[in-house]
Amino acid sequence: MRKRWLTLCLLLALLGPLAARAELPRVGVGAYSGRDTFITSLVGQIRERGQGRLDLHIVYAQGDQNRQNDQILQMIEDGVDVLMVNPVDRVSAVYLIALARQHDLPLILFNREPLREDLAAYDRAYYVGIDPRRQGELQGELAAAYFRAHPEQDLNGDGIIQYVLLRGEPGHQDAELRSLFSLRAMTAQGLRTQKLAEETAYWEKGLGQERMAMLLNAYGRRVELVIANNDDMALGAIDALKAAGYFAGSQAIPVIGVDATAPALEAIAQGALYGTVQNDAARQAQAVVDLAVLLAADQPVDADSYPFPLNERVVYIPSQAITQDTLP
C-alpha cells in the first residue's frame, strides 16, 4: 500500500511541471527578421521575460511579408491563444489585424507601428513600441549640446553645422520621424544646420559603412556631424570614419545613433560614438509579455492591471539620451 502511494507521489511530482507547462498560454511570435541587431535583442528579452508565463513559438520572416502572412496563418491553424507580430511592412498590418479579428484572437504588434485607423478596427489589437518623435528630439538635443560645448567642431567656422543623415528603411515610422524631429530639435535649440546629403542604409551596419565612405568621398572634411536613425548604421559610419583617419589623435566628429545596443554603449565608452538614444528593449519586452498574459486570460487591460502607459491600445515606452556622462 505504502509502496503504491509512493509511486503515485513520484508520478505526480514528475507530471506536475509538464501539466503546468501545458497550461501556459500558447503564443505565436512573428518577427520581421532574425538578422536585425535590435530585433534580436528584443525577441531575446521577450523569450527571457516570457519564461514560465507563456509558451512562446518564435518564427522569423526574413524580410518577406508574404512569408510572414503564411507563418501567421500556420500559427492560427496550430491553435495559438495570442499572436505577437513585428510586421515586415507596417502598412500590411491591416491584413494581420483583420485575420486576428476573424479568428477572435488577441494581437500584439510591436516595433513596426500600424496605422492608427487599422489598429482602431479591432479592439483586441495593441501596439507596443516607442515614440520616434521624442527619440529624434533627443538626438537633436544631443547634437545641440555637443556644439555648445565644442564650438571649435564647426570646422569651417561658418556658424552652420554641415551634417549627413543615415536613414533606416523607407516607410518605417522610426526612420521617417526620427529624421524629421532630430532636425526640428536642432533648430529649436538654436543650432543652425545644413544637411549636405542623406543616404538610406536600411538599419544595417555594413550599408552604413558603405554609404558613409561614399559621403566622405564626396564631402570629406565638410562633414561636421553624422546623425543615424539607429546604432548599427552609426557604428558602420564610425568604421568608415576610422578608415578615413578620424578618431586617431584629435580628429573627432560627433556621431549620434538610436537604440543603445551593447556594441553602441561600448563605442560610447571608447569615445567613438558621441551619443545614442535608448530604445528600451527590456521594458518593451516586459510590456509585450505582461499584455499577452492579460489578454490570454481575458482580463481587462487598464491602469490597475497593467503598469505601462496605455493610450488607445498603444503603449510607448519612454526613451532617454545616453552619452559618456550618463552611461548606465
The residues binding ligand BGC (CB under 6 A) are 36, 38-39, 111-112, 172, 174, 203, 230, 232, 258-259, 279
3-state helix, strand, coil in the chain (%, to 5): 50, 20, 35
Order of all β-strands in the sheet with 310-311:
55-60, 26-31, 82-85, 107-110, 125-129, 314-316, 310-311
Give the nearest distance from C-beta 33 to ligand BGC in angstroms. 8
- For ligand BGC, which is the closer residue by CB, 255 or 293? 255
For residue 198, give the H/E element and its range.
strand 193-200
- For ligand BGC, which is the closer residue by CB, 68 or 230? 230
Give the nearest distance from C-beta 233 to ligand BGC in angstroms. 8
Cα separations in angstroms, 323 against 141, 270, 301, 314: 12, 11, 36, 29
N residues, the chain: 328
Give the nearest distance from C-beta 37 to ligand BGC in angstroms. 6
- For ligand BGC, which is the closer residue by CB, 167 or 172? 172
Give the nearest distance from C-beta 23 to ligand BGC in angstroms. 33
Q: Provide the pairing of β-strand 161-167 with 225-228.
A: parallel
- For ligand BGC, which is the closer residue by CB, 46 or 161? 46
Q: How far apart are CA 139 and CA 119, in angstroms?
A: 28
Q: Is the four-CA dihedral 64, 65, 67, 72 of positive or negative sign?
A: positive
Q: How far apart are CA 189 and CA 233, in angstroms?
A: 25
- For ligand BGC, which is the closer residue by CB, 209 or 230? 230
Point out which residues pair with 110 in neighbouring strands.
128
- For ligand BGC, which is the closer residue by CB, 171 or 245? 171
Q: How far apart are CA 235 and CA 272, in angstroms?
A: 9
Cα separations in angstroms, 25 against 83, 110, 235, 325: 11, 19, 39, 43
- For ligand BGC, which is the closer residue by CB, 212 or 293? 212
Give the nearest distance from C-beta 175 to ligand BGC in angstroms. 8
Q: How far apart are CA 41 and CA 282, in angstroms?
A: 9
